Structure 1
Amino acid sequence: MNPLLVLAEHAAGWRGATLDADLDRHARRALIDWFACVLAGARKEPATPMARALAAERGTGQAVSYTDGARTGLRHAALINGTASHIVEFDDIWRWGVYHPGCPTIAAALAAAQTRGTDMAALLRAMTAGYEVSCRIAQAVQPSHYDYWHTTGTVGTFGAAAAVAVLLDCDAEQTAHAIATAATMAGGLQQAFRGDGMSKPLHPGHAAEAGALAAMAAREGMTGALDVLHGEAGFAAATSEDTGKWDKPLSLIGKPLAITEMTIKNHGCCGHIFAALDAVRELQRAHGFTAEDVAGVHVAGYAATKNVCDRPEARTEQECRFSTQFTVATMLLHGAVRLSAFDAVRLSDPAIRAVMPRITVSQDAECEAAFPAQRSAKVTIRLRDERELYQFQPTRKGDPDAPLTDQDLSEKFLELVGPETGDDEAKALLEALWKGSALPGLVALR
């Protein structure tokens, strides 16, 4: 069985499909969450320098670049918006693939839908196809893919390609060639976010643009190598332990659809820290201690919690978003890790800096064995009065088994978007995203 052909056939089937009420709701939740992220990040680096670098090449078109509110071409909008949507680290997660599908898939799909002048239903169908194709590919190459690769930059290319192919009315054969061409343009190294720098958000931006290009070219007759996913020198062989574990992902296509199983972030930092943050918050609520009462905190988690997020000396915004020490200290002191946690005052706050050395991180065999299906942590807090508190956190608030409600999501949207557009404008946009039949267009930022 050729996995690429199976996935292409599935994606092409969404061209004229009907979304039932439950699927429509889940797809709108993904779109609302993406808009919250893209508008919160639209005027931040690296979206702004990227937009300046490409200003002379912006061109004309009907797609919207939310960084500057300009109408532009499909590929330009996909690149800029895909980048902007990953900046504030609030974007959705498909936990079984260690993957943020929304950033590349929706950035490309929305740009294509605006370019083609379609309606909301067509956009939601394309998103559903892009999520399903890319999430199943991610599932096939994990967990070893994540040793070196940033899945959102690599696999995100397939999500963008499949979604745009649906909107361009590509048949199954054309969609297969779009996915095949996308494979050879996929990239994104994990080292980009193990240190400082701005290139991590570029990964989904590049994925959105490359996937869109692959679909546009396939629509015009460009072909790709149809064995590129599972071949001996193909995508899976090059980026994981073997040529992929395809049987299970292919058997699970649509059972249920990936877009109905999304994790919606409840903290504005790396998702590998979330279980620890939830545990700390619950222990503090239950026992009523303050940060000053804490003698030490130990977080035991799966490998990425240790390898990616054990950063006791974090200083910059990028480093602190991936620092268990910084974020746990922030939770102890302020009760939340939201956008304000990473403003200039907080980054240098002496109170946070005083707590960070008391926090340690290790890898736990049980947590690692359960990854990626379960994102867990074991947190031990030693208090100065010699009490020792412990909590095993088996999941994260926002995961499918502990989901954010629609009200929670709406509040998150208004929190992130209100400061950028004004409260009334944010509420109007949210209403349109929940209920509207027309595509979202230009959004005026302050």
Structure 2
Amino acid sequence: MNPDFSPSLAASKFASELRFEDIPGPVVDFVKKDLLDWIGCAIGGSASPASQPIKAVSEMLGGNKQSEIIGMESNNVVQAASCNAYFGHILEMDDVDKDSISHPATVVMPASLAVASWNGSNGKSVLTSITAGFEVMLRIGATITPNHYKVFHTTSTTGIFGAAIAAGKILELEEKKLTWALGNAGTLSSGLWQFLQDGAMSKFLHTAHAAGNGVYVALLAKEGFSGSNHILEGTQGFFEGYARQEVTDEKFRDFFKVWRTGNVSFKPYPCCRHTHSAIDAALDLREKLKGRKLSSIKLFSYSTAQQVAGKRSPKNSREAKFSTAYCVASSILRGTPSEKDFSNESVSEQKVRELENLIEIVVDEDLNKVVPVNWPHRIEAVTEDGEKLTSQVWSPKGDPENGLSWEDVETKFRTLTDGYITTKTQDKVIEICKNFESQENVAELFEEINLSFQTSY
């Protein structure tokens, strides 16, 4: 790494200088689409029983009623960012960036929106701050991928940087104070994958921590609380402690030239993104089977997918969402996955268990070579009448190469929120997001949602 160039200072300089007019039109359009997508995920998540722990603790702790929380009373700005971030990750339907292997929306957007609804910022300011947060977070994540991801949950460890930048941008922090916020974000960065081995709920806490503490360090910087000027590249900094691989500064030299925000993927299925190309392949195989049974089935996968989503014989909903084999079996038998296919009852269904047990998973070095540019899977199967079938998917549905249209995202939003908010509210939220740059006060968005919100438990 060049000692005369500072990625940390480059990031804070970019964020301080960024103006709405600098952002390319397609990137603005993507952020608005992703905003609608995340809101749908957060509404559905807030209605889930899994949201209860943070709701109970947030209500117990209390706080100034500064910012809106989906499905709850308003609370202080840090609690609001934390709760909304937690909700947005529950259903495993939020966006994902391939290069950094992270979910930027559910950490950056709640931080920006919490501060904006508190201080009355408008839609243009929010879109600008979200873009700033995405661009910084995704560069940090891509620089340390893939080795960091083997132990650390990148959404959490790098998400706090994105949240701090987004919140700081809404607070109109100058470059020096944005650098301080970035420095203290790095000091608080955390998030380990160990919870996966127990099927625990820590993933939601990761996003809550990243968004809430991102806001917290930005508020501290506003009040003059200093932080490291070189948190990323310093000899005792983030890259040194967390990267687990050699890093370069090249990704921090193309701010304003390369826009990573527009290359983030949408998730059409409610499970780990690493399962999605396998699901697409399974759905293709389902069409080719025409109701016939299989005598053998091999799933060719890549190492990261099996590290994160390699669970076999899942016992509950959480484990099933991180089981590529279960997702393939369920998709072959039931078709396109929905949330009901991950209920505990669906997971324990005998026919699915039998097919899941039949699947042999092989980590394919040729597939490994194209990760993270592609997250591919291949299925090779033989029917009971002896026909050999193959299905290969390089780019799962929702990737930039195979993207979702506004109509697709609207349909997903309605599916995620059906029964929780009224059709009239759905229409209003879609309209607000489509024209978000014209929104004068973003607090109205949450007020609109909460007026009709109904929980499912």
Q: Give distance in 1, aligned partners of 2:258 and 2:297.
A: 38
**SS, match of residue 441 in structure 1:** helix
CA contact (8 A) 1:63 1:77 kept: yes
Q: Give distance in 1, aligned partners of 2:157 and 2:330.
A: 32
**Residue-by-residue CA offset, 1:342-373 (whole Å, 9 max, x unaligned):** 12431222222222111122211111121112
Counting only pairs closer than 5 Å after superposition, residues 256-271 of structure 1 correspond to structure 2 as: 256-271=258-273
CA contact (8 A) 1:305 1:363 kept: no
Q: Which position in structure 1 is the counterpart of 2:453?
A: 445
Counting only pairs closer than 5 Å after superposition, residues 282-361 of structure 1 correspond to structure 2 as: 282-285=284-287, 287-290=288-291, 293-361=293-361
Q: Give distance in 1, aligned partners of 2:386 and 2:92.
A: 36
Cα shift at 1:216 = 0.8
Q: Counterpart of 2:453 in structure 1: which amino acid?
A: L
Q: Which position in structure 1 is the counterpart of 2:409?
A: 409
Q: Which position in structure 1 is the counterpart of 2:12?
A: 8
Q: Which position in structure 2 is the counterpart of 1:25?
A: 29
Q: Which runs of 5+ in 1 are unaligned?
A: none
Question: Which of 91, 94, 103 lines up with 1:91 in the alignment?
Answer: 94
Q: Which position in structure 1 is the counterpart of 2:42?
A: 38
Cα shift at 1:374 = 1.3
1:49 aligns with 2:53: yes
Structure 1 segments, 4+ long, off by >6 Å, are: none
CA contact (8 A) 1:165 1:175 kept: yes
Cα shift at 1:254 = 3.8
**Residue-by-residue CA offset, 1:195-250 (whole Å, 9 max, x unaligned):** 31111111011000111111111111111112221122211121122463221x12
Q: Which position in structure 1 is the counterpart of 2:131?
A: 128
Percent of aligned pairs sharing the same letter = 25
Counting only pairs closer than 5 Å after superposition, residues 39-438 of structure 1 correspond to structure 2 as: 39-68=43-72, 70-242=73-245, 244-247=247-250, 249-285=251-287, 287-290=288-291, 293-436=293-436, 437-438=438-439
Cα shift at 1:19 = 4.5
Q: Which runs of 5+ in 2 are unaligned?
A: none
**SS, match of residue 392 in structure 1:** strand
Q: Give distance in 1, aligned partners of 2:13 and 2:58.
A: 36
Q: Give distance in 2, aligned partners of 1:324 and 1:242.
A: 27
Q: Give distance in 2, aligned partners of 1:183 and 1:293.
A: 52
Q: Counterpart of 1:311 in structure 2: which amino acid?
A: K
Q: Give distance in 2, aligned partners of 1:373 and 1:180.
A: 30
Q: Counterpart of 1:116 in structure 2: which amino acid?
A: N
**SS, match of residue 99 in structure 1:** coil
Cα RMSD, aligned residues only? 1.6
**SS, match of residue 203 in structure 2:** coil
Q: Counterpart of 2:64 in structure 1: which amino acid?
A: T
1:140 to 1:416, Cα distance in 2 relative to 1, 3 A: same
Give the TM-score taking structure 2 as reference length.
Answer: 0.93
CA contact (8 A) 1:265 1:398 kept: yes
Q: Give distance in 1, aligned partners of 2:50 and 2:166.
A: 25
Give the TM-score taking structure 1 as reference length.
Answer: 0.95
CA contact (8 A) 1:67 1:80 kept: no
Q: Give distance in 2, aligned partners of 1:404 and 1:86.
A: 19
Cα shift at 1:297 = 2.2
CA contact (8 A) 2:69 2:446 kept: no
Q: Counterpart of 1:379 in structure 2: which amino acid?
A: I
Q: Give distance in 1, aligned partners of 2:204 and 2:276.
A: 20
Q: Give distance in 1, aligned partners of 2:256 and 2:296.
A: 45
**Residue-by-residue CA offset, 1:381-433 (whole Å, 9 max, x unaligned):** 22111112122211111101111111111100110012211333222221222
Q: Counterpart of 2:176 in structure 1: which amino acid?
A: E
Cα shift at 1:335 = 1.0
**Residue-by-residue CA offset, 1:139-174 (whole Å, 9 max, x unaligned):** 111111111000011000001000001000011111
CA contact (8 A) 1:194 1:308 kept: no
**Residue-by-residue CA offset, 1:280-334 (whole Å, 9 max, x unaligned):** 212332x2433x5122322112112222222221011110000112111110111
**SS, match of residue 379 in structure 1:** strand
Q: Counterpart of 2:284 in structure 1: which amino acid?
A: E
Q: Give distance in 1, aligned partners of 2:124 and 2:213.
A: 24
1:331 to 1:264, Cα distance in 2 relative to 1, 3 A: same
**Residue-by-residue CA offset, 1:15-70 (whole Å, 9 max, x unaligned):** 564545433211101111110110010132442211101213221233111142x1
Q: Give distance in 2, aligned partners of 1:222 and 1:198.
A: 32
